[in-house]
């Protein structure tokens, strides 16, 4: 079983829909990252969380440390949000090791 699990693996939504992508992990962590990988392959860091909630534009990321769970929400989705969203955790006690989920592929249609 992977230490980081994302759901769903694939998601199709219509423009304007509210989207939620989930990330669950089985180890103690000190931080969690959300990344976005566009169809061209480039990877962009969206958020780094250690507690609570962060918001940037239409993107909201939350984390519940006790439940070992994080969610990424996209409000008013748009076709340009189509990408793979990747969750990664920094395992507690490891200085440099990030463990990545396999990603959620999101397609937003008109």
Cα distance between residue 93 and residue 110, in whole Å: 45
Binding mask 57-86 for another protein (x = CB under 8 A): -----------------------------x
Cα distance between residue 86 and residue 33, in whole Å: 8
Cβ proximity to another protein: between 14 and 94 the closer is 94
15-44: which residues touch another protein (CB under 8 A)? 30-31, 33, 35, 40-44
- 58 φ/ψ sector (left φ>0, alpha ψ -120 to 50, else beta): alpha
40-59: which residues touch another protein (CB under 8 A)? 40-45, 48, 50
Cα distance between residue 32 and residue 40, in whole Å: 24
Cβ proximity to another protein: between 31 and 60 the closer is 31
Which residues are CB-contacts of 99 (< 8 A; sequence separation ≥ 6)?
3, 4, 25, 27, 88, 89, 91
102 touching another protein, by CB under 8 A: yes
- Residues near another protein (CB under 8 A): 2, 4, 30-31, 33, 35, 40-45, 48, 50, 86, 88, 90, 95-103
């Amino acid at each position: 079983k992977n230490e980081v699990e994302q759901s769903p693996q694939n998601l199709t939504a219509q423009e304007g829909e509210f989207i939620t992508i989930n990330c669950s992990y089985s180890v103690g962590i000190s931080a969690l990252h959300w990344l976005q990988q566009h169809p061209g392959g480039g990877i962009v860091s969206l958020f780094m969380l250690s507690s609570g909630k962060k918001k940037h534009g239409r993107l909201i990321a939350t984390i519940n440390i006790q439940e070992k769970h994080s969610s990424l929400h996209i409000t008013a989705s748009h076709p340009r949000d189509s990408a793979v969203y990747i969750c990664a955790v920094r395992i507690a006690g490891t200085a440099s090791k990030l463990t990545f989920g396999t990603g959620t592929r999101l397609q937003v249609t008109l």
